[in-house]
Structure 1
């Protein structure tokens, strides 16, 4: 396939700055807790939950404005005296539900997502979480800056 050339009013320096910014960390992580659930009835409409999904409390839910947003979640430790339940690594979850009993920073994630980062026997874990990408707009389709540059090379 031949390359496609186009004219644009965007200047080369602007594009270079945009590419450079895509390589910088955009946000710092927040601390919270995670639990897991297996319910398959979701408050967010028009979202394919996949297997790694999450529910958030009313304070994060934003009347459904957060639906479809993805977060990178890592286990940081136990919430009690038990041995460290963390498996290492992180998992990307998609917000598809409202958790009525969750406070801000409490993510109720799918059992599959939880078991990726921690031992299920723990039940509740300390986490670090941050948005996966930069949200440009909200709606049925979320668009993230840098996605094509970083993931579709």
Structure 2
């Protein structure tokens, strides 16, 4: 293996650790249609159903609007559904404010939530990053 190949492998390894280290732990719930009006875009829904509503601090006076996040379920929050996570991650776009969300919580569209966890769980532990 040549020196250039070793350097490229090392760079790839460092990059993968960086994205994991930047992940934010939190919780997610979900909301159901209609997804308009939204706090970011009013009645224009140009972002489909793979969307999220951000907590007040994250929303930052619309500063989050249009930003995309990768979200992954890490575990459930109740004993009713012992293994709710589906084992994959999704990419969602911030389009709304979740006024009732805690500081570490986001609200996913029902469709987005169902792709990463069993909706019967209702609330899940997650990791997410921009």
- Name the Cα RMSD after superposition: 1.9
Residue 35 of structure 2 contacts residue 45 of structure 2 at CA under 8 Å; is this kept in 1? no
By how many angstroms is 1:34 displaced?
0.5
Q: State TM-score, norm by structure 2.
A: 0.78
By how many angstroms is 1:51 displaced?
1.4
Q: Partners in 1 of 2:86 and 2:114 — Cα distance?
A: 8
Match of 1:145 in 2: none
Unaligned residue ranges in structure 1 (runs of 5+): 1-19, 132-153
Unaligned residue ranges in structure 2 (runs of 5+): 1-10
Residue 23 of structure 2 contacts residue 128 of structure 2 at CA under 8 Å; is this kept in 1? yes
Match of 2:27 in 1: 33
Q: Which of the residues 73, 77, 81 maps onto 1:79?
A: 77
Higher relative contact order (CA 8 A, sep 6+): 2
Residue 52 of structure 2 contacts residue 92 of structure 2 at CA under 8 Å; is this kept in 1? yes
Q: Partners in 1 of 2:102 and 2:47 — Cα distance?
A: 22
**How many positions carry a matched residue from both structures?**
111
SS of 2:52's equivalent in the other structure is strand
Q: Which of the residues 58, 65, 68 maps onto 2:63?
A: 65
Deviations 1:47-94 (CA, angstroms, capped at 9, x unpaired): 622110000111110100100011100000011123110001101010
1:44 is the counterpart of 2:46 = no
Q: How does 1:102-141 map to 2 (within 5 A)?
A: 102-131=101-130
Q: State TM-score, norm by structure 1.
A: 0.67
By how many angstroms is 1:118 displaced?
0.3
Q: Where do 4+ consecutive residues of structure 1 move more than 4 Å?
A: none
